[in-house]
Amino acid sequence: MSKPEFVYTTYIKTTPDKLWHALTDREFTHRYWMNCTLTSDWKAGSRMTMERDGEVKNECVILESDPPRKLSYSWVSIFDEDMKKEKPSRVTYVIEQRGDMVKLVVTHEGFADGSKTLPSVAIGWPMVLSSLKSILETGQPLILDPSKDA
């Protein structure tokens, strides 16, 4: 088993159900995911797309869906020709209740050697997850510019 290339853990003052909703509701995702909308029925085997301004950026397939505990999907970035040629990587969210908060662990793994996707997600995930935490705790997402390294 290869070791994950990207793991991010955060604690959010929310409930597992509210976090699940935030991860899977298309209108909610648009608010914190740098204006991307995630669309799926969130059932294993279903397609999921990530779109911005009407353009599909990532094509994914739901691999595991266990609300509100675990969600996993494949990830292919299609907005960049080099990234589009890479084998799909895998994103997994693990959600655990911890008192009056939730522990969220996001693992993104399975990158090819020399992946161009890995450096991109290593910048993007902390921005997205920080904005997710902010919106769930304060009602306001962070205003992020994905073209600038935060």
User: Whole-model pTM?
Assistant: 0.92
- Looking at residue 16, its amino acid is P
Q: What is the pLDDT of residues 90-134, one digit of tens each?
A: 999 999 999 999 999 999 999 988 999 999 999 999 999 999 999
* Ordered domains of the chain (ranges, CATH): 6-138 (3.30.530.20)
Neighbours of 23 (CB within 10 A): 21
C-alpha to C-alpha distance for 116 and 123, rounded to whole angstroms:
12
Q: What is the pLDDT of residues 38-83, one digit of tens each?
A: 999 999 999 999 999 999 999 999 999 999 999 999 999 999 999 9
